[in-house]
Structure 1
Amino acid sequence: MLILLNKPFQVLCQFSPQDGRETLADYVRVPNVYPAGRLDADSEGLLLLTDNGKLQHDIAHPDRKEAKTYLVQVEGVPDAEALARLQAPLNLGDFITKPCRAVRIADPAWIWPRNPPIRARADQPTCWLAITLQEGKNRQVRRMTAAIGHPTLRLVRSAIGGISLASHPLMPGEWMEVSPEDLRVQSS
């Protein structure tokens, strides 16, 4: 079984109770499924859960990770030089990132409003980036955008391999079962 969940903002990526905070157990009441990877509480979007240990390993293990795409609203508008730095190996102090794909995109119309909304400043523009990684270290995307001078305001994971929220539109907290074959990205 493979479940696609649109993880809401501030929900913890665990099933065990945690000091009155919302967890995956508040949304998915399917026995014996576990997250294949994680999203920080302040990140939203696509999370895969499975009852298959091998599939969980294949999705989350560093040597076999599926490509993950994040839609990231950042403070300011990165120029071509900043985007080039983001895509190249970037030294974050404790590790150097692998090259990634990062492009500016139009505001994604299909994304739901966040509750609470991000902070807005009249004098500070924002823009959206699509960042695709082959790795996924703790808070990596946030650290990468901060390193190029454009802090992350909102982070939504939109795709893992061939599974995306754009093609499986779910509101935060909704989930559906998908096929493991959907993970494999179709070659063009």
Structure 2
Amino acid sequence: MTVREVAGEAYREGLPALAASAVGGLLAGVVLGGMRAEFEAVPGLLVLVPAILATRGNVYGSLGARVSTALHQGLVAPSLAEADERLRSAVAAAIGNGVIASAFAAVAAYVVLALFSMPAAPLWVLVAISLVAALLSGVVLAAIVVAVVFAGYRRGYNPDTLVGPIVTTAGDVFGVTFLYLAVRLVLEVAG
């Protein structure tokens, strides 16, 4: 292949994912912009948002890379009907890692806010919000990652090209959406 052919293939595979990423980022921004009341109700929540969103992208991007590599090596079949223990374990590990990282982020945010004498919601509120958002978004993101990697692979695309933009975008959109739902749920329970 020539450089031009390789570049053309990269653009053909990557541009739709990047376009979806731009649109998804705008949607996540709209949801985040509409959360003013939640930020006021839960002091310190805004400090937690970047950590939560970064965690989603990192954890589920890693899952996508693992599944993609397993497909390339022939260790996993590109079908949910043929999903084996290796795939189920990778998904469970990603969700577990996301939950643990979110709980850690909540505790770290609380400690940093306390160190700088800034207002913060009670620790249990920040942790509960983080855990609920992590669990809900984790299930959805794991399904999206596996579906995108499998679909791309079956259509002849390099799943590694798709995973980055799609996971980052889905992580932002669902991370913010489920963060909003988690805040509403925890505040209702704490009520």
- Report the TM-score when normalising by structure 2: 0.26
Structure with the higher strand share, 1 or 2: 1
- Report the TM-score when normalising by structure 1: 0.26
Which structure: larger Rg? 2
Structure scoring higher RCO (CA < 8 A, sep ≥ 6) equals: 2
